[in-house]
Amino acid sequence: MEENFNKHLGNKLKLRRLALGLTQTKVAKAINVTFQQIQKYEKGTNGVS
């Protein structure tokens, strides 16, 4: 169940990022993580804490 939640949340994050015209790199810098971490959030590989 947690995996489904992470994928759902990741998809929402990606859609919002794209709607705002932001790159993964810009979002990553804004929250002080790597762009690879943003990729993992968006894919649902890692959950947001």
Domain residue spans in the chain? Answer: 22-49
Give the pLDDT of residue 47.
Answer: 85
Mean pLDDT, rounded, for 3-11:
93
- Residue 48 CA to residue 37 CA, distance in Å, equals 10
Residue type at position 45? T
Q: Which of 17, 16, 12 has the alpha carbon at shortest distance from 27? A: 17
Q: What is the pLDDT of residues 20-45, one digit of tens each?
A: 999 999 999 999 999 999 999 999 99
At 13 the pLDDT is: 97
- Report whether 40 contacts 46 (CB < 8 A): yes
Instruction: Output the six-digit token pair for 48.
Output: 């947001």
User: pTM of the full predicted structure?
Assistant: 0.86
pLDDT at 1 over 80: no
Q: How far apart are CA 22 and CA 27, in angstroms?
A: 7
Give the integer Cα–Cα distance in Å for 17 and 40.
14
